């Protein structure tokens, strides 16, 4: 992969991030927003799950791209 990709992770990227920086490639993978999952304990647990999900996805996604 030449240059730097832009990586987007939310479903609302088209609405919120209307102008993305110049990039050779845009990689989109939607994840659920944990801030919408209930009370503070639920939200905290959701963010912990989300960090694991993002880590797992990036390990697989970028390992495949670099082969």
Per-position DSSP letters for 2-48, written without gaps between them: -S--EEE-STTHHHH--SPPP-S-EEE-----GGGSSSHHHHHHHHH
Give the per-residue pLDDT at 3.
Answer: 63
pLDDT per residue of the chain (67 residues) written in tens, 0 to 9: 456 778 888 877 767 776 666 777 888 888 988 888 789 999 999 999 999 999 999 999 888 666 6
- Chain-centre distance of CA 32, in angstroms? 9
For the chain, domain boundaries: 6-65
Q: Whole-angstrom Cα distance, residue 4 to residue 27?
A: 11
Which two three-digit tokens encode residue 48? Answer: 């912990």
Secondary structure tally for the chain: helices H, strands E: 2, 2
């Amino acid at each position: 992969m030449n240059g730097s990709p832009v990586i987007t992770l939310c479903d609302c990227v088209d609405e919120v991030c209307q102008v993305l920086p110049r990039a050779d490639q845009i990689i989109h993978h939607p994840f659920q927003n944990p801030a919408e999952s209930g009370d503070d304990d639920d939200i905290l647990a959701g963010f912990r799950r989300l960090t694991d999900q993002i880590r797992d996805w990036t390990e697989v996604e970028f390992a495949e791209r670099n082969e």
